Structure 1
């Protein structure tokens, strides 16, 4: 389990780095398509992997050792492909722009002829300046802030569902009952790939419907999870899991598209790196409280009821935040009108 978590962390970091690379070589108007296509490709890869694994194991043509060998071979092939990816063309000066902020911060290029100590000083200065620029994005752009909060919080809850869903299914399985866990994973990845691939062609201004996305997604996830935690029918639990995965994949991709559209290629890795870090920190805390033996160590059914309550609380939280933002905007508008009248 610990080795799996290490591999998950490495793959998540690599995914953020790869998306940052893609955003650096394409124009900003293509960010939405790049995000959707990349996530769809990832899900298609999972679909092929699940299908191959299910076929090899079920038919007896392969063992779990063969699956590990295929995975190792795929990783080696990916390394070779990565070596031949085109490099990013950059000018002599690299400028990091803060979204919705007119203040730009220039990062000076390193001069190889300068002493090594001077170059190290410039590297540290550029690194600190880059961190400050990333923090300014959260402070200056409320769109990035709110959608990042949703991205991190929803990912935390979804990761818990992915980690413990099979434990719940095992509780529902009767003696000698045939299981279809692999078929469920195949179905979710295929449906998720189709949804994320088609998202760029749905002409909706998601940025202006953020609260609707947050609340509807959270309520759907909450209701589905409480049903999963209380029912005893395995196939109905499979269907609810597919619903949970569909809602999360779709809302998460929408959030990624909105956030990416507000960023420059230089700031993407920092923002999504922070979002992923917060999601994993929250997931760790939730695991320690709910599932770990040093915490409450709840029964698997009660765990899913807790996860359901988690998403319902998220829905209420974003409704309150939306009301507060609207009230603040209304007050600001009234103050501006009063100042105009006085002047």
Structure 2
């Protein structure tokens, strides 16, 4: 029962914070009569602020989350969401919308508290179950919000501003739940129990590749948090994180999946952030009924289904991972090109759904492949580093391609660049896969050559 109470509250918070009926129609709302902003202002001057604030806040929020034991940062996330949608409802002007994007970046960076809190209040044997609950409920909330928004728009003919008000009400409900969560007495880094020893994640078993690379993994070490509250303790934690970072990324399979994670997540963020602006070109919300809500709902549900089916696929991801990443990344690139080139809203919708489904399938595989033999401390570190790498690259692309201070390209040209970007990712993993196959064959031939007797050898008595 001690695990049920925080899990239920966390799921309530996750569901209502993800229930955003206005999300699929944000671009249409900003460019509509309520805010009366131009496409250039929305795409090139407002949306990039989310990227910059997310990157700038991720590392300090990550450290503050662990140091403050999660709950205060959960409350901060809830406050940020309420403020974001209150401003979206009442504020006007480009400067106000840029400030809104900053607060949304703070809320997004604070999501690390949502996915970390539960590990500090439940036992390790329950990690997998409660993680499944928390992730599933956010996906369900996102799908339900998109569907609700579309139904209200299509059937009830509500105005877009009413969807913003409903989203604000949902964020307010999400704001209440974290206040009743119990305050954790331990955390992953700053407030560990004395003598914590690293162990692999519950339920995991090392794969053949991880056995081969076992020399790359760090030895089991004992850690104590006796100095966790002092400045020397803070420096000690930073040094510990840096040491773990070097140890983790020496493992070649982990490095390969982490590189794909960072590269693909960067491109994924760009696609979902600017897809609505692309659809506005093909099918303007000012002159036609739009169906973005159905598209977001279907893509989320199919992505969740693909993630669930990963465990049933008869694929040796550890052996064929790079080549499969090549094929599926190339398919993602094709989806981006198709949704841009044909200039048909239904084709664009369909390509977007396929793109999101493939990404969610692969990101689930990457999550398992990376986490299977990591301790919980290193799990948090590796995924934090991967996310930071994705954000760093995402920010660079945004500055150069999107921001009006850079090239400030139009949306269609941007999507051609994103398609080329995923093509480059596929080529990188094609080369990595071919290298892996030829390297394995050469090693096998060398082993067979050493084990076979010389051709002229004879046994003498």
TM bucket by the smaller chain? 0.7 to 0.9
Gaps of 5+ in 1: none
- Quote the residue 1:226 is aligned against: 337
- Tell me if 1:134 matches 2:249: no
Question: Looking at both structures, which has the greater relative contact order when contacts are Cα pairs under 8 Å and sequence separation is at least 6?
Answer: 1
Whether 1:268 and 2:379 are equivalent positions in the alignment is yes
- Structure whose residues are more often helix by fraction: 1
| SS of match in other structure, 2:398 | helix
The whole-number CA distance in structure 2 between the counterparts of 1:127 and 1:96 is: 17
- Counterpart of 2:277 in structure 1 is 167
Q: Aligned residue for 1:193? A: 304
How far does residue 86 in structure 1 lie from its aligned partner after superposition?
Answer: 9.8
Counterpart of 1:144? 254
What is the number of residues matched between the two proteins?
Answer: 335
For the residue of structure 2 that corresponds to 1:294, the secondary structure is: coil
For 2:178, the equivalent position in structure 1 comes to 79
Cα distance, 1:146 vs. partner?
0.7
- Comparing 57-66 and 101-110, the one that deviates more: 57-66
Equivalent pair of 1:95/1:104 in contact (CA under 8 Å): yes
In structure 2, what is the equivalent of residue 45 of structure 1?
141
Q: What is the Cα-based RMSD across aligned positions, in Å?
A: 3.4
Equivalent of 2:225, from 104, 109, 113? 109
Shift of 1:143: 1.6
Of 196, 211, 215, 1:94 maps to 196
Q: TM-score, normalised by structure 2?
A: 0.63
Answer whether contact 1:289 1:297 (CA < 8 A) is retained: yes
1:212 aligns with 2:323: yes
Secondary structure of 2:197's partner? strand
| Farther off after superposition, 249-258 or 169-178 | 169-178
Q: Is the 8 A contact 1:223 1:308 kept in 2?
A: yes
CA distance 1:29–1:208, shift in 2 (3 Å): farther
State yes or no: 1:67 paired with 2:166: yes
- Could you list the per-position Cα deviations for residues 78-124 of structure 1 after superposition, in whole angstroms to 9, with x for gaps in the alignment? 31354378978975312346983362332233079xxx8xx542442
The answer to whether the Cα contact below 8 Å between 1:36 and 1:196 also exists between their aligned partners in 2 is no
Bigger shift: 225-234 or 188-197?
A: 188-197
Structure 2 segments unaligned to the other structure (5+ residues): 1-46, 50-98, 201-209, 453-461
Rounded Cα–Cα distance in structure 2 between residues aligned with 1:123 and 1:6: 28
CA, structure 1 residues 171+50, in 2 after alignment: closer, same or farther (shift >3 Å)?
Answer: same
Residues 80 and 324 of structure 1: CA distance in aligned 2, closer, same or farther (over 3 Å): same
> Match for 2:295 among 178, 181, 184?
184
Larger mean Cα displacement after TM superposition, 3-12 or 163-172:
3-12
Rounded to whole Å, the distance in 2 between the matches of 1:30 and 1:201 is: 21
Does structure 1 conserve the Cα–Cα contact (< 8 Å) formed by 2:267 and 2:418? yes
> Bigger CA drift: 178-187 or 188-197?
188-197
Distance 1:216 1:26 in 2: 39
| Bigger mean CA deviation after superposition, 322-331 or 41-50 | 322-331
Relative to 1, partners in 2 of residues 1:39 and 1:212: Cα closer, same or farther, differing over 3 Å?
farther
Deviations 1:262-297 (A, max 9, x none): 311111111111111111111111112222223332
Contact 2:197-2:222 within 8 A present in 1 as well = yes
